[in-house]
């Protein structure tokens, strides 16, 4: 069975179940499908686009978009930078003062450490790292 959302030429929308797409085409051509509201046999399929609606749908869409951006950014960082884990602040400091090779790093840092780094004029950015979806 296949499910279609249908609309008559007067704009009444209704739903129909058909054994197959061809069965729908055949029935529509033979005017065997009628609008329950006005009896019209001029029926067309309403395109079913993936959509989200309702309260918070926009926010959800934006959050999704933001998340995709962050995922892309994360992939880029993971590819180009060394992961130093919780030693981030220490390593960033070493790089800044030339004690470590100059390179891109990423890892975790606490609010206090981040503040200290900023006060020392060390260049870094904090990202709202999304959790991996596959974990």
Closest contact distance (angstroms) between CB of 15 and Zn ion is 13
Centre a 10 Å sphere on the Cβ of residue 116 and count the other Cβ atoms it contains: 14
Stretch that binds Zn ion, among 8-16, 19-27, 58-66, 121-129 (CB under 5 A): 8-16
Of 27, 40, 41, 100, which one interacts with Zn ion (CB under 5 A)? 40
Number of residues interacting with Zn ion: please give it, by CB under 5 A.
Answer: 7
Q: If 0-12 CB within 10 Å is exposed, 13-18 middle and 19+ buried, where does residue 69 land?
A: exposed
38 touching Zn ion, by CB under 5 A: yes
5: which strand partners? 15
The CA distance from 73 to 67, in Å, is 10
Distance in Å, CB of 74 to Zn ion, minimum: 51
Beta partners for 103?
Answer: none
Helix (H) or strand (E) holding 5: strand 2-8
Pick the closer one to Zn ion by CB: 6 or 84.
6
CB of 36 to Zn ion, least distance (A): 8
Contact residue for Zn ion among 6, 35, 43, 92 (CB under 5 A): 35
Provide the terminal-to-terminal Cα distance of the chain, rounded to the nearest Å.
36
* Per-residue DSSP letter, 48: -
Would you say 10 or 81 has its CB closer to Zn ion? Answer: 10
Residues that bind Zn ion (CB under 5 A): 8, 10, 12, 35, 37-38, 40
């Amino acid at each position: 069975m296949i499910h279609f959302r249908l609309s008559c030429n007067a704009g009444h929308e209704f739903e129909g179940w058909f054994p197959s797409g061809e069965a729908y085409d055949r029935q529509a051509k033979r005017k065997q499908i009628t609008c329950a509201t006005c009896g019209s046999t001029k029926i067309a399929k309403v395109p079913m686009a993936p959509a989200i609606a309702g309260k918070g749908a926009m926010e959800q869409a934006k959050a999704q978009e933001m998340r995709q951006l962050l995922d892309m950014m994360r992939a880029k960082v993971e590819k180009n930078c060394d992961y130093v884990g919780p030693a981030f602040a220490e390593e960033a400091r070493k790089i800044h003062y030339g004690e470590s090779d100059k390179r891109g790093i990423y890892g975790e840092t606490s609010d206090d450490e981040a503040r200290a780094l900023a006060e020392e004029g060390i260049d870094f950015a904090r990202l709202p790292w999304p959790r991996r979806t596959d974990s």
